[in-house]
Amino acid sequence: MSFLSGFYAFLFYFAVVLLIVGLVNKLVQYARAPAPLKIPTTPAPTSSGKVALRMFREVVFFESLFKGNKWIWIFGWIFHFGLFLVTLRHLRYFTDPVWPLITFIQPFGIYGGIAMVVGLAGLWARRVLVDRVRYITSPSDHLILLLLLLIGVSGLSMKFAVHTDIVAVKNFFIGLMHLQVNPLPSDPLLLLHLLLVAVLLIVFPYSKLLHAPGLFFSPSRNQVDNPREKRHIAPWAERLEQE
């Protein structure tokens, strides 16, 4: 086992553990946060089934963003859909044999990578060119966008410019899943790409990227609009009443 392979093996084990621990901690924190008021954004659904439908539209189509700002919606949806395709495409490195659906999605994943970069460029331009958005943009926002953009560009570069041994890359990650460290190609662009991905996994639970799972805990989206039919009492208030 080379030092390089061992280092990246340790890096990804560390990144995945930190990702899981950070996500679980945040999700527990979200679940325990009190929601003392009924505050669904109107017009709001009046049943649990309609709430589920609303959440589906929000997660898949970004419904509220579409109503609020069409330009942001275009770039945001392009980026997220491209990221979704890229994620599916990369599952081939963790499955053996590769699932038929993942095999089918491979060519679309390439276009997804291009869409991901285009969407990110548009979202970053918005933070630079729009005065009111630039005013509330922090350095961390720029760093996250830069990190995602570098991941996308480096990945596309390995597809169209500097190729790497993808069979060896797959063997490396399949080995990690079985607690084995197989040789990793020493191509600089590949190493940069993997380093950036590991950094993304590490910072994900502690950054604004956590809006992905956080959306499901938003009371303005996940509450049923039935204050007249059913009294809403937060769990902590119920405990006080019982005492």
- Residue-wise pLDDT for 66-110, tens only, equals 988 999 999 999 999 999 999 999 999 999 899 999 999 999 999
Separation of alpha carbons 22 and 140, rounded Å = 18
Domain coverage including residue 128: 3-242
Res. 238: pLDDT tops 80: no
Binning pLDDT at 50, 70 and 90, where does residue 61 land? very high
Q: What is the CATH number of the domain that holds 108?
A: 1.20.950.20
Instruction: State the chain's maximal CA–CA distance in angstroms.
Output: 68
Model confidence, pTM: 0.89
Amino acid occupying residue 7: F
| Tokens read off for 113 | 């990578």
Neighbour count for residue 79 (Cβ, 10 Å): 22
Domain count, the chain: 1
**Rounded Cα gap, residues 96 and 27, in angstroms:** 31
Helix H segments across 62-99? 63-68, 70-90
